[in-house]
Amino acid sequence: MTAAAAASGQLGSINLGARRRRRIAVVLLVGPALLVVGGALLVPALNLLVQSFMESSGYGQITYHFTFSNYTAALQDPVYRKVAWHSFGLGALAALICVAAGYPAAYFITFRLRRGRNLALFLVVVSLFTSYLVRLYAWYTILGGHGIVNTALIRLGVVSHPLLFLLFSRTAVLIAFVNVFLPYSVLMLTSSMQNIRPDVLENARDLGAGPLRTFSRIVLPLSMTGAIGAFAYTFILTSGDYITPSLLGGTSSTSLANIVSDEFVALGNRPAGAAISFVMLTVFFLVYLGLTRLDRFKGF
Amino acid sequence: MSRPRVSGLFVYTILVFAFLFAPIALVVLFSFNKTAALTFPFHGFSLRWYRAVLNSPLYRDAIVASLRVAVITVVVVVVVGTLAGIGVTRYDFRGRGIVRLFLLFPGALPGLFVGIALLSFFVQTKVTLSLWTVTVGHFVYVLPYFFLVVTSRLQRFDYVLEEAARDLGAGPWATLRRVTLPLIAPSLIAGALVVFSLSWDEVFITFFTIGAQNTLPLVIYSTVKQSVDPSVNAISTLLLAGSLVFVLSVRRLVVDLQQ
Amino acid sequence: MTYESSPAMRFTRQQLLRRSLAGGAAIGLAPSFLDRLGTGTAGAAISRADAAAINFFSWQGYDLLDEPAMKAWRKRNHVTVHSTYVNTHNDITAKFTAGGGKGIYNLSTYEAGYGPFYVGLGIPAPIDLSRVPNFKNAHPLFRTGAIAKKWWNFKGHQWALPFTWGIQAINYASDKIKPPASYRDLLKPEFKGKFGVTDDPVAAIVIGAHAVGVFRADSLYTPAQLKKIIAFWAALKKNARLIVPLYGNMADLFASGEIVAATPGWAAVNSFAAAKGDKAVKHTVPKEGSATFCDAFMIPNGAKNTDAVYAYINQAFSLEAQAQEAESLVQAAVCPKAVPLMNKATRALYPYGKLVEILTKSAPLEVIPNNVPKGYATFADWNKAWERFKA
């Protein structure tokens, strides 16, 4: 970063023409993205923000009368809180597991594989290309009462009755989440670990550092951006997921995304749906802020 | 020098891959099922679902529609997202933090919310709903994720190489084309693949922004209302095979670049 | 050797250029190439001035793509159908009220009780009955009389044309258990963790009303009664294996042996499960009664190309088509003269002989509450209560 700052600082101080050129460059580079997001999403999002402070008066109808009630309901309603707690909690757990479980595999792929590395990454990427919903159905066969795991456990004599909690439970949802998002974590971690020069690790080992120390002092801090990215990505997409909890969650099949959907689609209550969405947005934003603080983490 | 831990990590990685591919293996297996069952017992091998899919205009049209949307989304996002990422990481300008946040925030909104917001935008601007509006929706949805990948790669970027190029007389755009882009290409490709898979599976935004068309995930999701049958497995297997071919050809590019 | 001119960089740059050109060309050509792969109707905007295009927005199956009579008719008249499918009835409400349907879709449906609700929201356009002469084939119950005047023909207009109906109660695995005689049987210990509760609030609340004994054909329940109904389902949920998200799931759950019963049910699940190798799934109506649904074709406001749509609907009411619809949808037809045209299995699905009795007395149409007077639960209250029940 310092090189860039120095470079752009140098550029900026050269002459006014360069500064103007820089400004044009920035506009040209960042403009298109801003235009589409700003044009298509900003105005309606702001509109929904305004509506989140209004009252709903029937399906799809709004009375323009300022109120905080949607937000107080979103934050205080015990049912919403319970669902939010479970959704965010499950999301955080899934993200943690994905990062933790992804690290050893990413480490192995980055530092221990030379010729096989591309094949391994390629396999990871391929696993992303099966339709999400179709993959979820496979869990019935794996975790079900007459499924693979239970049949194996019974045949091996480990249990006498099938373990019913494996499917249609939060456990099943967690397993499915990890299965879907682990590839992304491995990819992001590998990508950021490729930045670590292997001779640094060798030096550490020569100096007597054990594997745990090497990991916590060198690998972890240097791959922190990858870990943060993997965690944030998994956390945001799992907490806001609708389909996996409803198919695999059993009697705990409601998620925050469900609630938002109910408000918008079933009840036509845009103010409430928008309020909950913005509360979710705030939570994600705060988590992301907190995670970026971790970026400065330099080891235990 | 002995490395006893290699075997441990190796076994672990194998297990991880087994875990990742277990559902996929089952998807492929059941695509050949003789009956419409998606769960055990398996009733024997048959190609009926492949025949059904290839003969069904519904599925064919849906796959084509999904491909169109995904491919266009990926291309536009890669171009626009890379430019924006470069702009935000290389240049220090006022409001940079806000721009960054602005380009990231749609990723934290529920898909349904984005879908409804976009629908109201299209209604107010009197744009006819079609696969193009779906593409806009997908673009807005996936840009934050690609942007994250690009910026995190650029943040680790060693600008020494760019400086070297500039010292040798290359202008900024030439430097971009010949130095920066090839070096960050693997991340861009990884980001493009991530974005493709996100667009490919997207249901909620699509539902609200689509006209009288269907995409594959919409069809799959709606058949759950009636009855899912292994047609969806057949499609997934076909696409898996297609993506294998695609990734294989891209992989060669990555290998070449890394040399 | 400069950095740029080093062989490695040159090689990769050329490769990148070549591939991006190829890629760009591919992208540019792709749509037309891919179009040729498909039937070319993918993404066809309405501006294609396809005067014989039907843009359908509703449940999969109701676009009548599988019925031979409809297929033949479409071929003869060069009519194509473009469909977008929904997963819940609320999807129809949501998309139309958000403005995402006007001028795009020209054929949709609504379930009986939603009629007044949708008319209030301005969703359907009045139907010109003179353009659907085959509608006369339908049983008088669906055309004139008290029921028709409540859901399809009121305020001086015909808003929709009912074309199919069905019964919802309990699906069960007949090879594993005896048909439950009461909904409350599912509360017994022998059913613990063995059945599913379907996420269908309208059917569930109607069935629940039967089960707790407060059933009213106009679906007006006091908040206290609604609470009782939900409490019944909460007790069931405690004993259940899962909340079945959609009916399509149910067949897989039966076939894999995860559940032996599910309610609210749907007779069509029997044939879905049979296609999956489980021929033992049956549908039964316990002593408390069942919920009956009836879906009707509606033409959304602002629809274009209504000529094609009217002709299509008219064809759907022909006796031959009605018999085939009953078979492929696994639901009941509304035209009595179509019943003899059905095969034995389809005819046996529904008690056509007792049609009037069922639809007026023992299992009147499940309806959502409309024009709710003060002190009674509204449809929003139903949805809210169900949301809380699920959470």
In B, which residues are within 8 Å of A29 by CB distance?
A: 83-84, 86-88, 91
User: Would A65 be classed as within a structural domain?
Assistant: no
Q: How many CA atoms lie within 13 A of A59 on its CB side?
A: 28
pLDDT score of C336 more than 50? yes
Q: How large is the angle between the packed helices B4-30 and A117-126, nearest 10 degrees?
A: 30
Residue B143 zone, left/alpha/beta (φ > 0; ψ -120 to 50; rest): alpha
Contact with chain A for residue B91, Cβ under 8 A = yes
pLDDT score of C137 more than 80? yes
Distance CA A104, CA A90 (A): 22
Q: Which pLDDT value is given to residue B227?
A: 67
Q: Which pLDDT value is given to residue B149?
A: 82
The candidate with the shortest Cα–Cα distance to B233, out of B16, B59, B66, is B59
Q: How far is A246 from chain C (nearest CA, A)?
A: 6
Helix, strand or coil, per DSSP, at residue C50: coil
Quick one: pLDDT band at residue C123, thresholds 50, 70, 90? very high
Q: Which domain holds residue C225?
A: 170-289+369-390
What's the structural domain count of chain C?
2
Contact with chain C for residue A11, Cβ under 8 A = no
Same domain, yes or no, for C55 and C158?
yes
What's the structural domain count of chain A?
2
In B, which residues are within 8 Å of C42 by CB distance?
A: 60-62, 64-65, 68, 131, 213
User: Would C25 be classed as within a structural domain?
Assistant: no
Same domain, yes or no, for C236 and C178?
yes
Distance CA A133, CA A130 (A): 9
Mutate to test the interface with B, among C276, C278, C293 (most CBs of B within 10 A): C276
User: Would A103 be classed as within a structural domain?
Assistant: yes
Strand extents, DSSP E, chain A? 55-56, 62-63
**Looking at this predicted complex, what is its ipTM?**
0.84
The candidate with the shortest Cα–Cα distance to A101, out of B22, B152, B25, B19, is B19
Contact A257, B110 (CB under 8 A): yes
pLDDT tens per residue, range C235-247: 999 999 999 988 8
Quick one: average pLDDT of C129-151?
Answer: 91
User: Would A138 be classed as within a structural domain?
Assistant: yes
Q: Which residue has the higher pLDDT, B129 or C230?
A: C230
The torsion angles phi and psi of A55, rounded to 5 degrees, stand at -105, 145
User: Would B70 be classed as within a structural domain?
Assistant: yes
Same domain, yes or no, for C113 and C70?
yes
A204-A208-A210-A211 Cα dihedral, nearest 10 degrees:
30
**Are B24 and A127 an interchain contact pair (Cβ–Cβ within 8 Å)?**
yes
Q: Which pLDDT value is given to residue C248?
A: 78
**Please, what's the largest Cα pairwise distance for chain B?**
70
Specify the pairing of strand C291-300 against strand C124-125.
antiparallel
Contact with chain B for residue C44, Cβ under 8 A = yes
Which of these ranges, A29-43, C24-38, C267-281, C293-307, has the smallest mean pLDDT? Answer: C24-38
Q: Which pLDDT value is given to residue A288?
A: 85
Distance CA B209, CA C187 (A): 43
Can you give the CATH number for the domain in which A124 is found? 1.10.3720.10
Same domain, yes or no, for C302 and C225?
no
Could you tell me how many residues make up chain B?
259
Chain B and chain C share a number of CB contacts under 8 A equal to 186
AA letter at A298: K
Q: How open is the CA angle C258-A266-B122, to the nearest 5 degrees?
A: 120
Tokens at A193, concatenated: 């670990």
Quick one: average pLDDT of A237-255?
Answer: 90
Distance CA C193, CA A298 (A): 50
Tokens at B117, concatenated: 């917001």
Residues with Cβ within 8 Å of residue A108, at least 6 apart in sequence:
B9, B10, B12, B13
User: Would B37 be classed as within a structural domain?
Assistant: no
Would you give the end-to-end CA distance of chain B in angstroms? 28
Contact with chain A for residue C220, Cβ under 8 A = no
Q: In what order do the strands lie in the sheet with C261-263?
A: C242-244, C195-198, C261-263, C170-173, C281-284
* Partner A, chain B 106-135, Cβ-Cβ below 8 Å: 106-114, 116-118, 120-121
User: Residue B155: is it exposed, middle or buried by C-beta count within 10 angstroms (0-12/13-18/19+)?
Assistant: middle
Q: Which pLDDT value is given to residue B255?
A: 61
Same domain, yes or no, for A87 and A195?
yes
pLDDT tens per residue, range C52-91: 889 999 988 899 988 999 999 999 999 999 888 888 899 8
Contact A292, A225 (CB under 8 A): no
AA letter at C268: A
The candidate with the shortest Cα–Cα distance to C313, out of C117, C166, C43, C124, is C124
Percent of chain C whose pLDDT exceeds 90: 55
Q: Which pLDDT value is given to residue A201?
A: 84
Same domain, yes or no, for C120 and C209?
no
Q: Which pLDDT value is given to residue C312?
A: 95
In A, which residues are within 8 Å of B24 by CB distance?
A: 127, 130, 135, 138
Tokens at C54, concatenated: 């039907």
What's the structural domain count of chain B?
1
Quick one: average pLDDT of A117-125?
Answer: 83
**Which DSSP symbol is given to A163?**
-
The candidate with the shortest Cα–Cα distance to C198, out of A251, A143, B203, is A251
Residue of B nearest to A43 (CA): B121
Q: How open is the CA angle A214-A94-C199, to the nearest 5 degrees?
A: 175
**Which DSSP symbol is given to C72?**
H
User: Would A60 be classed as within a structural domain?
Assistant: no
Contact A32, B84 (CB under 8 A): yes
Distance CA A203, CA C110 (A): 72
User: Would B17 be classed as within a structural domain?
Assistant: no
Contact C379, C363 (CB under 8 A): no
Quick one: average pLDDT of A54-62?
Answer: 87
Same domain, yes or no, for C232 and C250?
yes
Would you give the end-to-end CA distance of chain A in angstroms? 24
Same domain, yes or no, for C69 and C158?
yes
**Are A253 and C242 an interchain contact pair (Cβ–Cβ within 8 Å)?**
yes
Q: Which domain holds residue A211?
A: 71-294
pLDDT score of C165 more than 80? yes
Distance CA C335, CA C315 (A): 13
Q: Which residue has the higher pLDDT, B156 or A116?
A: A116
Same domain, yes or no, for C247 and C376?
yes
User: Residue B94: is it exposed, middle or buried by C-beta count within 10 angstroms (0-12/13-18/19+)?
Assistant: exposed
pLDDT score of C25 more than 60? no
Which of these ranges, A179-188, A228-237, B81-90, B223-232, has the smallest mean pLDDT? Answer: B223-232
Tokens at A87, concatenated: 């959704």
pLDDT score of C19 more than 60? no
Quick one: average pLDDT of C132-144?
Answer: 92
User: Would A289 be classed as within a structural domain?
Assistant: yes
Would you give the end-to-end CA distance of chain C in angstroms? 68
User: Residue C96: is it exposed, middle or buried by C-beta count within 10 angstroms (0-12/13-18/19+)?
Assistant: buried
User: Would B251 be classed as within a structural domain?
Assistant: yes
Same domain, yes or no, for C160 and C200?
no
In A, which residues are within 8 Å of C252 by CB distance?
A: 137, 140
Distance CA A194, CA A187 (A): 11
| Range among B122-136, B170-184, C36-50, C349-363 with highest mean pLDDT value | B122-136
Tell me which chains share at least 3 CB pairs under 8 Å with chain B.
A, C
User: Would B27 be classed as within a structural domain?
Assistant: no
In A, which residues are within 8 Å of C258 by CB distance?
A: 140, 144-146, 167-168
User: Would C26 be classed as within a structural domain?
Assistant: no
Element (H, E) at C281: strand C281-284
String of DSSP letters for A25-44: HHHHHHHHHHHHIIIIIIHH
Residues with Cβ within 8 Å of residue C276, at least 6 apart in sequence:
B35, B36, B37, B38, B229, C251, C252, C255
pLDDT score of C5 more than 50? no
The candidate with the shortest Cα–Cα distance to B178, out of C2, C24, A18, is C2
| Range among A211-225, C180-194, C353-367 with highest mean pLDDT value | C180-194
Averaged pLDDT score across all residues of chain C = 83
Q: How far is A150 from chain B (nearest CA, A)?
A: 12
Which of these ranges, B4-8, C111-115, C320-324, has the smallest mean pLDDT? Answer: B4-8
Helix, strand or coil, per DSSP, at residue C161: strand
Contact C313, C132 (CB under 8 A): yes
Helix, strand or coil, per DSSP, at residue C333: strand
- Which parts of chain B sit beneath pLDDT 70? 1-6, 224-227, 250-259
**Are A182 and B254 an interchain contact pair (Cβ–Cβ within 8 Å)?**
no
pTM recorded for the entire structure? 0.84
Same domain, yes or no, for C219 and C330?
no
Quick one: pLDDT band at residue A4, thresholds 50, 70, 90? low
Q: Which pLDDT value is given to residue C108?
A: 95
Can you give the CATH number for the domain in which B63 is found? 1.10.3720.10
* Partner A, chain C 235-294, Cβ-Cβ below 8 Å: 237, 240-243, 245, 249, 252-253, 256-258
User: Would A56 be classed as within a structural domain?
Assistant: no
Quick one: pLDDT band at residue C51, thresholds 50, 70, 90? low
AA letter at C153: N
Tokens at A275, concatenated: 């309020």
Same domain, yes or no, for A139 and A271?
yes
Q: Which pLDDT value is given to residue C35?
A: 34
Tokens at C251, concatenated: 């067949």
Contact B152, B84 (CB under 8 A): no
User: Would A174 be classed as within a structural domain?
Assistant: yes
pLDDT score of A88 more than 90? yes
Residues with Cβ within 8 Å of residue A209, at least 6 apart in sequence:
A217, A218
Distance CA B50, CA B233 (A): 9
Q: Which pLDDT value is given to residue A3?
A: 56
**Are B136 and A40 an interchain contact pair (Cβ–Cβ within 8 Å)?**
yes
**Are C37 and B123 an interchain contact pair (Cβ–Cβ within 8 Å)?**
no
Q: Which pLDDT value is given to residue C42?
A: 37
**Are A44 and B118 an interchain contact pair (Cβ–Cβ within 8 Å)?**
yes
| Range among A202-211, B144-153, C320-329 with highest mean pLDDT value | C320-329
String of DSSP letters for chain B: ---HHHHHHHHHHHHHHHHHHHHHHHHHHHTTBSSS-SSSSP--B--HHHHHHHH-HHHHHHHHHHHHHHHHHHHHHHHHHHHHHHHHHH---TTHHHHHHHHHGGGGS-HHHHHHHHHHHHHHTTPPPSHHHHHHHHHHHHHHHHHHHHHHHHHT--THHHHHHHHTT--HHHHIIIIIHHHHHHHHHHHHHHHHHHHHH--HHHHHH--S---HHHHHHHHHHH---THHHHHHHHHHHHHHHHHHHHHHHHHHHH-
In B, which residues are within 8 Å of A148 by CB distance?
A: 40
Q: How far is A151 from chain C (nearest CA, A)?
A: 13
**Are C243 and A250 an interchain contact pair (Cβ–Cβ within 8 Å)?**
yes
Contact C217, C362 (CB under 8 A): no
Can you give the CATH number for the domain in which C126 is found? 3.40.190.10
pLDDT tens per residue, range C90-101: 989 988 988 877
pLDDT score of C258 more than 80? yes
**Which DSSP symbol is given to A223?**
T
Residue of A nearest to B119 (CA): A44
Same domain, yes or no, for A263 and A141?
yes
For residue B16, give the nearest of A8, A105, A226 by CB distance: A105
Distance CA C292, CA C166 (A): 6
Same domain, yes or no, for C268 and C207?
yes
Distance CA A218, CA C90 (A): 53
pLDDT score of C118 more than 90? yes
Distance CA C216, CA C214 (A): 7
| Range among A273-277, B55-59, B183-187, C355-359 with highest mean pLDDT value | A273-277
Q: Which pLDDT value is given to residue C13?
A: 37
User: Would B238 be classed as within a structural domain?
Assistant: yes
Quick one: average pLDDT of C152-159?
Answer: 93
Q: Which domain holds residue B155?
A: 56-258
pLDDT score of A152 more than 50? yes
Same domain, yes or no, for C236 and C376?
yes
User: Would C86 be classed as within a structural domain?
Assistant: yes
Contact with chain B for residue A231, Cβ under 8 A = no
